[in-house]
Amino acid sequence: MSGNSLVLDTSVIIDILGGDQRAAAMVQDAIVYVSVISGWNCSV
């Protein structure tokens, strides 16, 4: 890993909150950006 910033997908965040120590160690001391995809409902 180069640099000190990461973009996290929500699945990685779920892993970290679930106790995945390896995933938590990867984001330690990093600037973290969270990728969020929301549903879009467009009626035309």
Q: CA-to-CA distance for 11 and 43, rounded, in angstroms?
A: 29
Would you say 1 and 27 are in contact if contact means Cβ atoms under 8 Å apart? no
State how many domains the chain has.
Answer: 1
For the stretch 7-44, pLDDT in tens is 988 888 899 999 999 989 988 999 999 887 777 776 76
pLDDT reported for residue 19: 94
Q: Please give the residue range of the domain that contains residue 25.
A: 5-34
Identify whether 19 is part of a domain: yes
Residue 44 within a domain: no
Residue 43 located in a structural domain: no
Q: What pLDDT is stored for residue 21 in this prediction? A: 94
With respect to residue 42, please indicate whether it lies within any of the assigned structural domains: no
Q: What is the pLDDT of residue 11?
A: 87
Determine, yes or no, domain membership for 21: yes
Phi and psi (nearest 5°) for 8?
-105, 135
CA 21 to chain centre: 14
Flag whether 26 is in a domain: yes
Is the overall model pTM greater than 0.75, yes or no? no
- Whether residue 40 lies inside any domain: the answer is no
pLDDT at 26: 87
